[in-house]
Chains A and B, each alone.
Chain A
């Protein structure tokens, strides 16, 4: 079977949409729905693999509204992997929710269809974010992800989830509105310097970005940075992030943390590439480094005093986003590659962590880490996965995050910011101590609270193990996997915008 790039992209964009329409109509039986969900995601995954094989990293594909280059291909791989993981773990998660103590879905069977419909639409919009060629449409799709995921965060409509969602929608919409203002200013810049051909088209703007007025560009960049920074969860604007991540259903938290926030980083990168030649690196780099490291610094104390397991993971996500933005601000090739690799590793590992945390919440009927002890004895398989994923996210070998964090720290020293590198290392060490303290308490000790038994099944264990192994192999053997290596180099070149 030989399909062209255009056809493959149509397949990727059509399948989730069709499936969410089917599951929203809700006429299929539960088993068929689960299998169709897996089939659709596997189909999309296969399409992405075929796309990766036919696509040459240095020859971008441009359609009327669609643009695919190495950077968007890399994002497509990340989102696609999470989509697969979502599809293969969702049945276990939903079944648990229909049977065990918190059986919310047991009373409302039809909600399963709605959950699938919303989740697939959510992933579909994220595919759109990375595939559209127009800065305005990128804004539109990012805002749409907020709204769809808001319904997912509030899926059970409990009091706390309502509170989290209200905060999420209000804070993110205000932030994104500021980004709209930034986009309007970028359009104004385009109208005054390049004329009205192909409005807001990314490729066109990159080719003509040399003679932009620097003052206006700086003005636009500030709005864009604050706006998309809110969506990424950078420090002063992060109020929504721990709430939304901790109150959402576990699968949604995984998708939010793994793919949504890095979609915002992706859009920010696209804007930076256009504005960089006129603003100059120093200004952008300074802002990114400051807010990135500030975000890590804010996250550390909250992790140490945390009691809610999913909130702790949310703060750990914040730390990783801070690291990514700081890595973006370094503007050296090694750091740019490390940032992209870190997006990939963090997404995979964080998804498995959130899934495991959701399982623990079902097993013990609580989110409070202080009331969970002795997991090693009571629920050995869950405990094993928890330990492995925690070790992975903290950046210890042989898991993938080790490599990306290591390259990132290396980037700090090659970019002649050694002191920032030292500060980051100290903060990461604080993170490690804080998280390990909580997790080791949970794993060991005498248990006072009885668990409801091992809930990890076969399929979800395999999926989670697959995620961890895939992230490890892809990062460790990166230089031997030619396709990925070439793609990553090309993507890093796009991030740097031909500067370094």
Chain B
């Protein structure tokens, strides 16, 4: 489990560094793989029934295969588009992630000193906050989608640790919602490419006040 957390933190930091869209999607997929392994580890430590396997299998199907696949297909179409992005935001989001990691550990120490899943809680706080910062600081639509999934993964990991997963029906519903959310966002992004010739969200600033 310790190795998983180390890898997870590493992948999240990588996620903030990447500017190439394809690599960002691969990063997202590997992050979900780690979450899936964590699901299996936590699931099998509490029993061998279907509820132990289900979250891991669903994570693999939805978050490792389907979501990165859909986003990757979209990214392949985005070849000749206008590039407005600047590199300075990358450093900000990495720095923010480092801050969030420290903040996560400080928060865990304050709230529940000496608990077992300390590292996992800190990692999930890191993921939640980094996801948010990716959505706020970055302008590319694809990176924002990656941020959203990172945020969702973080909340999911925290839930997994606290409650060993939600009730089965709710769990299925959550996965369905994430799936539909990504489909909707992919539709919107491809439409954005058609009407704005770019997926940079900073061109959309007509609606104010």
Contacts and interface: CB of A to CB of B under 8 A. Distances in A.
Interface of A: 65, 134, 136-137, 139-141, 143-144, 147, 150-151, 154, 157-160, 162-167, 169-170, 173-174, 177, 180-181, 184-185, 187-188, 191, 199-200, 242-243, 246-247, 302, 305-306, 311
Interface of B: 128, 132, 135, 141, 144, 148, 151-152, 155, 158-159, 162-163, 166-167, 169-170, 173-174, 176-177, 180-181, 184-185, 187-188, 191-192, 195-196, 201, 204-207, 209
A166 B158 contact: no
A72 B162 CA distance: 31
B162 A184 contact: yes
A144 B188 contact: no
A27 B67 CA distance: 32
A166 B195 contact: no
A154 B148 contact: no
Given A136-B173, A247-B207, A184 B188 contact: no
A305 B207 contact: no
A147 B192 CA distance: 17
Given A137-B173, A173-B181, A188 B163 contact: yes
Given A134-B169, A157-B195, A191-B163, A184 B158 contact: yes
Given A184-B159, A184-B162, A147 B184 contact: yes
A162 B195 contact: yes
Contacts of A180: 155, 159, 174
6 contacts: A143-B181, A151-B187, A157-B195, A174-B148, A184-B155, A199-B167
B181 A169 contact: yes
B151 A174 contact: yes
B188 A306 contact: no
A184 B124 CA distance: 14
A144 B151 CA distance: 18
A261 B205 CA distance: 25
B166 A136 contact: yes
Nearest 4 CB-CB pairs, A to B?
A136-B170, A140-B173, A163-B204, A199-B167
A169 B188 contact: yes
Contacts of B135: 170, 174
Given A162-B188, A184-B159, A170 B148 contact: yes
B156 to A, nearest CB: 9
A147 B181 contact: yes
A159 B151 CA distance: 27
Contacts of A158: 195
A181 B158 contact: yes
Nearest to A199: B167
Contact of B206 (A65, A150, A163, A184): A163
Given A151-B184, A166-B204, 11 more contacts: A141-B173, A144-B177, A151-B187, A162-B204, A166-B141, A166-B192, A181-B128, A187-B163, A187-B166, A199-B170, A306-B209
Contacts of B158: 181, 184
Contact of B191 (A157, A169, A188): A157
B188 to A, nearest CB: 6
Contacts of A188: 162-163
A478 B40 CA distance: 57
A180 B159 CA distance: 9
